[in-house]
Amino acid sequence: MKMVQKIMSNEEAFHLLLAAVIGVIGGLVNLFFLYFVSLVQWLIFQNSGDSALLAQESKPFLRILAPILGGILAGLILLLHSHLSGKMKPTNVLEVVALGDGRIGMRSTLINAWSSLISIGSGASIGREGAITQLTAALASKWGQIHQWQPYRLRLMVACGAAAGLAAAYNAPIAGALFAALVLVGNFSMNLFAPLVMSSVVATMVSRFWFGIDPWYVLPKSLNFEQATNFSSMLWFLILGVFSGISGSFFLKSIQKMETTSAKINWPIWSKLGLAGLVVGLVALIFPGVWGNGYGITNEILQVNSDEKDFSGLLNGSILFELNIWKISIILFAGLLIAKFITTVVAVGTGTVGGVFTPTLFLGAGLGAAFGQILSYSNLDNGLPIAAFALVGMGSVLAATTRSPLFAIILIFEISLKYELMPPLMIGCVVATLVSRGLHKPSVYTAPLYRRGLEFDQEDRQMGSAIDRCVGDLMVAPTSPIKETDHLPQISEIFLKSPRNYLPVLSKDKRLVGIISLQDVKAHLNGGDELRAIIALDLMRPVETVLTPNTHLMDALPTIMSSEIEMIPVVNTEREMHLVGSVSRSQTLGSLSESIGERSQINNI
């Protein structure tokens, strides 16, 4: 009992305990999601396994019909939920961590998960990691909301959930923690990074209990990567990084264009997803490997240099399997690359719920394999196997779309366990990120926020100590808000229960529209009954001071210093003005003062 009390009293230890529990949740979510995907596949095909293999074994008619019906059913689930629930709560993990208060809509997430489950089970060209990550993060957020914990803790729990989900999905604990630290939190301070590591490790251990410790992608033992670090080879990997950056930015632009086009077409969501299923089905007649996340075909590509396998497995089940043109491997790889590109862009662009990590790895493997084949035909490959170029292509395209080269490097290493490829992989990922960033600003994660007009610079988020923390790290629950239609007696009662002299005023759609001071209310308390008709809209003053969760404390210092309000309102963005919390002026200034003092002492040593 004393041990529990000690843990509860020490916030860092308590957060580690929470992270461990979230890790267990992540491992179990991964297990049950895979089980239900297999169940959906069994109901459709009387078999389960990799989607590409199921497509190869299915008759052409079923290959078209299954993704169409799956898309329609997945769309109907989304449509039914929107009609029953009205406006859906936020489910974007990056948004609720970087711009919000850590509250994810549980009902919306469950509906999205069911829709994704149907889409994946019926062959849609998306990954399962998206639903697993989102569902784990939502469960962590719901747990925190039940206990009414403060926003800073909710945001950390959501990040831990995302780290656990990704780590469990890919059997990659380091990549899971780095993903949450780099992409979501944007901070490597130990009080944040330690829980992320804990949740990732525990989730991986739970996942490995059922699925084993083998690497996600299996490479033939006979492959030799010793020539990968030669100077002449590094030049080719650098060029591959350039091509990967161009491909990654084009992939993101294509998804954006498809989403814009889809939004302009006034069709119900079920018809759009059904149409996306039709595209997948038609392409799968020639390239069955476009079904699913592409994991199985990517594994085939990585083994093309092995004596045990040839290229035939990549096109098994194709109606054009007998064509001699497929004997030219560069055409085969290029065809697979284009086919997967089209089906993934259409699926994601029309609103199919799912992840893009694994499909992106497929695209990178296809690009790298095609590049390696060109070099092989020209006798410029230095004896390197195609798998070397495929692995570097996987990491480079992933880095180009996520804008996080370190995460991509670690993920490829963890899922392949090929340390010899680290130097060329590092070069390819860094170059691809720089090229992609120059061609297209938003990443695959920030793009949804940009489309809503929410400015978010992922690279501007700094790593460091307390002095580099964000407003969201100190944010607490918002001060008791007042509705703009509340009458004077109601406002007076709220002030009597609140220790604050200023209270925020919210509109019907929960937007911050003004501030009421205690002095404004006191001026009307001695009036007659006619003053009781006064509402908050009549008393409030304009909002002059607001902060956003992702604003660095040093950047917010001038605003904090000039404010006369003790509990400064925090909104998701200055454009949408949805109240998500508040920060204490005195506490924030005290925290900054201590951090500056600590730095001064260190510098004087």
Residues 365-392 have pLDDT tens digits of 999 988 988 888 888 877 788 888 999 9
- C-alpha 367/C-alpha 174 separation (Å) is 26
In sequence order, the β-bridge partners of residue 505 are 482, 514
Q: Is 29 in the same domain as 136?
A: yes
Alpha helices in 265-315 (DSSP H): 269-286, 295-301
Angstrom CA distances, 64 to 275, 281, 340, stand at 11, 4, 16
Segment 424-440 mean pLDDT: 93
Helix (H, G, I), strand (E, B) or coil at 456: coil
- Domain assignment present for residue 291? The answer is yes
Measured CA to CA, the distance from residue 331 to residue 67 in angstroms comes to 26
Q: What is the distance between the alpha carbons of residues 562 and 545, in angstroms, rounded to a whole number?
A: 9
Query: pTM of this prediction?
Result: 0.79
Phi and psi at 582, nearest 5°, equal -155, 160
Instruction: Provide the 10 A C-beta neighbour count for residue 573.
Output: 21
Does residue 253 share a domain with residue 152? no
Signed CA dihedral, 23, 25, 29, 31: sign only: positive
Average pLDDT on 583-605 reads 59
Same-domain status, 443 and 391: yes
The token pair that represents 44 in the structure block: 């459709």
Lowest mean pLDDT across 19-33, 387-401, 514-528, 554-568:
514-528
Q: Residue 15: CB partners within 8 Å, gap ≥ 6? A: 153, 156, 191, 194, 195
Q: Does residue 592 fall inside a structural domain?
A: yes
pLDDT computed for residue 4 by the predictor? 55
Please check whether residues 352 and 482 belong to one and the same domain. Answer: no
> Which has the minimum average pLDDT: 59-73, 378-392, 486-500?
486-500
Instruction: Please compute the mean of the pLDDT values over residues 341-362 and round it to a whole number.
Output: 91
In this prediction, residue 326 carries a pLDDT of: 72
Q: What is the rounded distance in angstroms from the CA atom of residue 433 to the CA atom of residue 410?
A: 15
356, two tokens = 């893009």
Mean pLDDT of the chain: 82
Choose one of 154, 184, 211: the last residue of a domain.
Answer: 211
pLDDT of 33 strictly over 90: yes
Is 59 within the bounds of a domain? no
**CATH code of 44's domain:** 1.10.3080.10
Please give the average per-residue pLDDT across 40-45, as a whole number. Answer: 90
- Please choose, from the candidates 470, 393, 451, the residue with its C-alpha nearest in 3D space to the C-alpha of residue 424: 393
Is pLDDT at 498 greater than 70 in this prediction?
Answer: yes
Residues present in the chain in total? 605
The pLDDT value given to residue 311: 65
- Whether 336 and 416 share a structural domain: yes
Q: 147-161, 261-275, 463-477, 573-587: which range is least confident on average? A: 463-477
270 plus 194 within the same structural domain: no
Domain boundary among 160, 184, 211: 211
Say if 427 falls within a structural domain. yes
Task: Give residue for tokens 């937007």.
Answer: 511
Q: Are strands 567-571 and 512-517 parallel, antiparallel or unpaired?
A: unpaired
The verdict on residue 82 lying in a domain is: no
- Secondary structure tally for the chain: helices H, strands E: 25, 5
| Contact (CB, 8 A) for 177 and 115 | no
89 closest CA partner among 99, 103, 76, 101: 103
Distances 45 to 48, 264, 290 between C-alpha atoms, Å: 7, 35, 17
Q: Give the residue-averaged pLDDT of 183-196.
A: 80
Alpha helix (H) residue ranges in 417-487: 422-439, 447-451, 471-474
Q: Which of 418, 436, 459 is the last residue of a domain?
A: 459
Work out how many domains the chain is built from and give that number.
3
Is 553 contained in some domain?
yes
Distance CA 502, CA 491 (A): 11
Beta bridge partners of 579: 571
- Which amino acid type is present at position 141? S
**Contact 85/105 with Cβ under 8 angstroms?**
no
Whether 305 and 405 map to the same domain: the answer is: yes
Under 8 Å between Cβ of 71 and 274: yes
Residues 103 and 144 in one domain: yes
Q: Are residues 438 and 473 in the same domain?
A: no
Is the sign of the CA dihedral 62, 63, 69, 70 positive or negative? positive
Please indicate, yes or no, if residue 79 is contained in any of the structural domains. no
Residues 134 and 244 in one domain: no
Task: Verify that 155 and 258 share a domain, yes or no.
Answer: no
Task: Indicate if the pLDDT at residue 461 is higher than 60.
Answer: no
Residue 109: the pLDDT is 87
Choose the weakest-confidence range: 76-85, 164-173, 238-247, 352-361: 76-85
If asked whether residues 472 and 434 sit together in one domain, one would say no
Domain containing 7 equals: 2-49+88-170+172-211
C-beta separation of 136 from 26 below 8 A:
yes
Q: How far apart are CA 393 and CA 360, in angstroms?
A: 10
pLDDT range class, residue 467, cuts 50, 70, 90: very low
| Residue 129 covered by a domain | yes
Q: Is 287 left (phi over 0), alpha (psi -120 to 50) or beta?
A: beta
> Who has greater pLDDT, 532 or 554?
554
Q: What is the CATH number of the domain that holds 598?
A: 3.10.580.10
Q: Taking the chain, what is the end-to-end CA distance rounded to the nearest angstrom? A: 42
Strand-pairing partners, residue 583, are: 568
Average of per-residue pLDDT across 104-122: 89
Helix (H, G, I), strand (E, B) or coil at 355: strand
Q: What is the layout of strands, in order, in the sheet containing 482-483?
A: 482-483, 502-506, 512-517
Q: What is the DSSP letter of 500?
A: -
Determine the Cα–Cα distance for residues 376 and 4; give it in Å rounded to an integer.
62
Nearest by Cα to 546 from 581, 593, 592: 581
